[in-house]
Amino acid sequence: MIYKDQRNTILSLLTKSMLVVVWTIISITSGSAQDKWKQFGDYWYAGVAELSSYELKQHRYGEIHEGHAVLIFVTEPFSRSRHVKLDNSEDAGSDEVTVLKLNLTKKFLTGIYPYSMMMSSFVPVSYDKYPDVLKVTAGSQEWCGQTFTQLNLDDDEYEIRGFSYFESEGDFQNEIDNEWLEDELWQRIRIDPDNLPTGSIKILPGTLYQRLSHKPFKLVTAMASLKLTSESSFSDTVHKTYQIIHDGRILSIHFKRSFPYEILGWEEIYDGKTTVARKIKSIREPYWVQNKNEYRHLRQELGLKAN
């Protein structure tokens, strides 16, 4: 039997591709894999999404700006070859893969003008068969202009395309090795946090962080850790905290320690300032069909403005 402390030591020495074999063995020998996946299916295949709102205090331009963030998690049929949601999954055959999609949105004001930011990532549920996030997109809109970034898995690397109104950034296309992406960690937490990478890892920092920091898209070496937290400003009960540290930046994601591992909030520290998001409320709804005025009350349930 591989105990947790032994496993984390082993995992810190392995590449991402090697982890697939180790995690599959651990899952099979755990004796509870079947119960775990039934519990997962009952929650994530119920035909609804999980919508969670957060009070946001965003670091920008040397100040803290108040706003709100929303995390939207939902399973969807996805095309492995075209990296799009399938309209007719029954006709897709082996091209179909089920992903746990995350839409992460941020809205906040900086002085007279607003920021609207969104990141979407598409992580296959079956990690043993499909170990890599397939696609990440990120967009940012504010009164100066807008930007868009997209990453697509292409065998053993990710193709990155970016479009920006900044002269120094412009439009670009390049590739990076297939390593960890910060934007996939949110789903890894929700699927099975014990399989998060720990120790020294190669990782691509989050696309929204890149947008706000104007850092180039490149892999960095980070220290990652997963620990129990007795209490914090995010919860007065025991919960888990996943943290990555690199280049003077610290990202800490706080979440419940039992399934479905709801995310309580996160904090991000860099340039001497701290961005914090604390959970307001979660609801489970089929939001994609709730697009009429009669459903505006659901925004109020989430603690968001209805207008």
* DSSP letters spanning 257-280: SSTT--EEEEEEEETTEEEEEEEE
Instruction: Give the whole-angstrom CA distance, residue 54 versus residue 242.
Output: 18
Q: What is the DSSP letter of 92?
A: T
Tokens of 296: 């505006």
Bridge partner residues of 275 (DSSP): 268
Query: In the prediction, which pLDDT does 168 show?
Result: 83
User: Of 9, 13, 27, nearest to 127 (Cα)?
Assistant: 27
- Per residue in 124-165, pLDDT (tens digit) is 999 889 999 999 999 999 999 999 999 999 989 999 999 999
Q: Where are the domains of the chain?
A: 4-84+93-301
Query: In the prediction, which pLDDT does 16 show?
Result: 60
- Per residue in 49-59, pLDDT (tens digit) is 999 999 999 99
Contact 121, 99 (CB under 8 A): no
Q: From the centroid of its chain, how far is CA 79? A: 19
What pLDDT band is residue 18 in, cutting at 50, 70 and 90?
low
Q: Which residues contact 235 (CB under 8 A, 6 or more apart)?
A: 229, 254, 256, 264
- Per residue in 97-110, pLDDT (tens digit) is 999 999 999 999 99
- Per residue in 168-194, pLDDT (tens digit) is 888 999 999 999 999 999 999 999 999
Query: In the prediction, which pLDDT does 139 show?
Result: 98
User: Of 112, 116, 183, 194, nearest to 150 (Cα)?
Assistant: 183
